[in-house]
Chain A
Amino acid sequence: MHRRADSAFRFLAEANEVLASSLDFEETLQSVARIVVPALADWSAVHLATPGGTAELLTACHTDPAKEALVRELQRRYPAEPDASASATRVLRTGKTALVPEVDDDMLMAAARDRDHLRLLRALGLRSFVCAPLTARGRVIGTLSLASAESGRRYRVGDVALVEDLARRAALCVDNARLFHDAGEATHRLQEALAEAARAREELRAGAERHAAELEHRVAERTGDLNAFTWSISHDLRAPLRAVAGLADALAEDCGAQLDTRGLDYVDRMRTAALRMDAMIDALLQYCRLGHTEVRLEGIDLGAAVARVLADLRAELDERDALVTVLAPLPQVRAFVPVLEQVLANLLSNAVKFVPPDTRPRIAVRAELPDPARVRLWIEDNGIGIEPHHQERVFHVFERLHGQEAYPGTGIGLAIVRRGMERLGGAAGVESRLAQGSRFWIELPVAPAESAA
């Protein structure tokens, strides 16, 4: 008995190894059936539970492979109850190990359905058998049967524990195989899900691309519309103005003798109105243009830009005898010269324009660095100032605070300043109080020292 238990331990260790190496469910059970022969049995069989609750033979092993055919014949001809199948079905139902220490001929005769059946059962030559449940996750999934024949071995109660242990290990391996299979399934499903996600992402990307292309198309269309619009304004809208202004002049010159002062005043007003509309169209086109003109930011010398704009405005400044002070040096900034110069021209022109007629315009231009990355340029005047609640409005298109008589203008200059600064990635604003002058400011990124030209 001691020797037998010893060899049983060795066997279990070996069985574990065989079982652990296999992760396929049926292969595992076939291995179990195989390894018990001949060490523990002359016969072995594994039955699996069918969905109907009966036992179905998965595999049978014999020391003499020729005899395996006999089991298969029995299984084929007497499906429900070949040898241990009856016991297997009972074990499946009860979950308890069945032990038959001695199989005698009476038992065979009781089990046989006919003479041929009895002949086959006798040929099988069973002497003793034990049938243990294969329990995985609390469910009986099949049975492991060990039987003796030629060896004359007799299974006893003491052997039950060993067979049950083996069945438990086998079931555990089956479980692992199932888990592995499930994991494989899960991995497969995960891979499918990932592939699906990749497809979805690809579709999304293609969708986004289509959307972007469509947007681009629409932007191009809008730009095209805008171009057609500005083209039409540039070419067509001015012609009637030229006619009005030109013919008003011709009227005054050619027929002036027939007009009295009032008539000449009317003609003059026609002319002035046409000129104002021309200026407004110009400003509006400039404003439209700012929206879609290509802006290339580069390092530029703010001082040089201010000097160029002041030179362009010389006549306007001289007319009012304006005093302009630039606190040099001004820093290098990142900007696009045409837009920056337009912004500066509008601000400086306003600074000299919105000053009471009896006051000499004084303009100060100076820069500060609110932080190391930004330059704030101040343009301060001694003009009429702006009430706080109007300070935002003045940056909107066609917003004017004063009549044409007092301070003529298009109402677009500061809108151009605001939009221009936005295009340059900067900002514009004003600090002012009525009758105390205005301090307009623009803010720009500082140019890195090496990129300043």
Chain B
Amino acid sequence: MSTTRSILLVEDDPNDVLLIHRAFERAKVLNPLRVLPDGDEAIRYLAGLGPYADRAVHPLPALMLLDLKLPRRGGLEVLGWVRDQPGLRRLPVVVLSSSRRTEDVSRAYDLGANSYLVKPVGFKPLLALIRSLDVYWVLFNEKADLTP
């Protein structure tokens, strides 16, 4: 079941998107990767608003990979909003950020991030990270029931 559900990537940097896509292919992750370019789009998708109203076409993801620095609405704000939604508060959210700053890491955990990963430099470490992510969050991690 879970293998068919998508993984939502909220990321605005096209190079990161390209490299993460490539890592997903190399790691043979079965879940389709859906990319949203900013915080507002992420919220519209998760709330099923506008073009995302049809849940059959745009189902809730199995996991959200969330960048922190995003146009329009930052990742931390998106995270806070998700944790406030009864139907989304158990959605696994993995922060995927450039920053190692303690403030950023602490704030993300305080707002309810399930994990905080720093985007590595170089493709090999990125591939290793995506493989671990797939194994841990998709294969081993017990899925949460999102219904409130």
Contacts and interface: CB of A to CB of B under 8 A. Distances in A.
Contacts of B72: none
B107 to A, nearest CB: 11
A77 to B, nearest CB: 98
B69 A238 contact: no
A47 interface: no
Interface string B104-139: 100000000000000111111010000000000000
A120 interface: no
Given A250-B19, A253-B123, 18 more contacts: A227-B103, A234-B98, A234-B99, A235-B97, A236-B98, A238-B121, A239-B98, A240-B15, A245-B123, A246-B15, A246-B122, A247-B15, A249-B122, A249-B124, A271-B122, A274-B121, A275-B122, A282-B100
The 6 closest A-B pairs by CB, nearest first: A249-B123, A243-B15, A234-B99, A235-B69, A246-B19, A238-B98
B103, B119, B120, B121 pick with most chain A CB within 10 angstroms: B121
Contact of B123 (A234, A235, A238, A250): A250
Contacts of A231: 99, 101, 104
Contacts of A247: 15, 18-19
Interface residues of B, number: 22
20 contacts: A227-B103, A231-B99, A234-B98, A234-B104, A235-B68, A236-B98, A239-B15, A242-B15, A242-B119, A243-B15, A245-B121, A245-B122, A246-B122, A246-B123, A247-B19, A250-B19, A253-B123, A274-B121, A282-B100, A285-B100
Interface in A324-346: none
Contacts of A253: 123
A242 B99 contact: no
Contacts, number: 66
A270 to B, nearest CB: 11
Contacts of A235: 68-69, 97-99
Contact of A241 (B68, B69, B121): B121
A191 to B, nearest CB: 56
Contacts of B124: 249
A234 B107 CA distance: 15
Nearest to A238: B98
Given A242-B15, A250-B19, A234 B122 contact: no
B28 interface: no
A312 to B, nearest CB: 16
B100 A246 contact: no
B135 to A, nearest CB: 21
A71 B84 CA distance: 104
Nearest to A237: B98
A239 B13 contact: yes
Contacts of A285: 100-101
